[in-house]
Amino acid sequence: MRMLSLLAVPLVLATASPALAKGCVRGAAAGGVAGHFVGKGHAVLGAAAGCAVAHHHYAKQARAQKTVIKTRG
């Protein structure tokens, strides 16, 4: 257990960033509900997939907005 915490704590701290979590909660909620209706035990998988998809969407949107701001000056 001690070895697990020695490995998990730095990993969690390195990945815990508010900017990286944008859209994850909304996507996880939608994915969890969809996974629940698909079948038993799929809610967690759906939540993880929803989080990843929503994060990708918001990151892509932020990159597009950043390039528009740079081109406008």
Q: Alpha-carbon distance 61 to 67, whole Å?
A: 10
Q: Is the pTM of this model over 0.85?
A: no
- C-alpha angle 28/14/57, rounded to 5°? 35
> Which residues touch 33 (CB under 8 Å, ≥6 apart)?
43, 46
Cα(47)–Cα(50) distance, integer angstroms: 5
Q: What is the pLDDT along the chain (73 residues), one digit of tens a residue?
A: 565 555 666 655 555 555 556 678 888 889 999 998 998 888 989 999 999 999 889 889 888 888 877 776 5
